[in-house]
């Protein structure tokens, strides 16, 4: 993997994308309505829309879009869940220091 790409992937893990992964994980990780994340997430509305697409492209989220009533549901993939669990551990370690 070229250095620039690796750097971009690494930066994604320590930004609002990581917060979004944790929010989905905390909401159960399966069939989480995008609209719920927009309201409850620690991440801003525009960032939720930006990063859910990026995380899906990276294979960390599965996106199910209903045509009627037009809802979008997010589910962590096994890899997304694994990364979220590691981020959760890091978050817990950080909070105990």
Task: Kindly report the CATH number assigned to the domain that includes residue 84.
Answer: 1.10.10.10
Q: How much is the pLDDT for 68?
A: 83
pTM score, whole prediction: 0.81
Q: How much is the pLDDT for 57?
A: 95
What is the total count of domains within the chain? 1
Q: How much is the pLDDT for 93?
A: 84
Kindly give, in sequence order, each residue whose CB lies less than 8 Å from that of residue 22, ignoring residues fewer than 6 positions away.
Answer: 84, 87, 88, 91
Between residues 5 and 97, the one the model is more confident about: 97
Q: What is the pLDDT of residues 76-92, one digit of tens each?
A: 999 999 999 999 998 88
Please report which helix (H) or strand (E) contains residue 54, including its range: helix 45-57
Q: What is the pLDDT of residues 40-82, one digit of tens each?
A: 887 888 989 999 999 999 999 999 999 888 899 999 999 999 9
Kindly give, in sequence order, each residue whose CB lies less than 8 Å from that of residue 30, ignoring residues fewer than 6 positions away.
Answer: 75, 76
Domain that holds residue 40: 3-95
Q: How much is the pLDDT for 92?
A: 86
d(CA 61, CA 17): 11
């Amino acid at each position: 993997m070229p250095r620039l790409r690796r750097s971009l992937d690494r930066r994604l893990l320590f930004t609002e994308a990581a917060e979004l992964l944790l929010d989905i994980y905390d909401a159960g990780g399966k069939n989480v309505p995008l609209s719920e994340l927009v309201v409850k997430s620690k991440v801003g509305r525009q960032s939720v829309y930006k990063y859910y697409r990026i995380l899906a492209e990276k294979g960390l989220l599965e996106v199910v879009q209903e045509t009627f009533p037009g809802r979008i549901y997010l589910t962590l993939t096994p890899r997304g869940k694994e990364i979220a669990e590691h981020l959760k551990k890091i978050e817990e370690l950080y909070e105990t220091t």
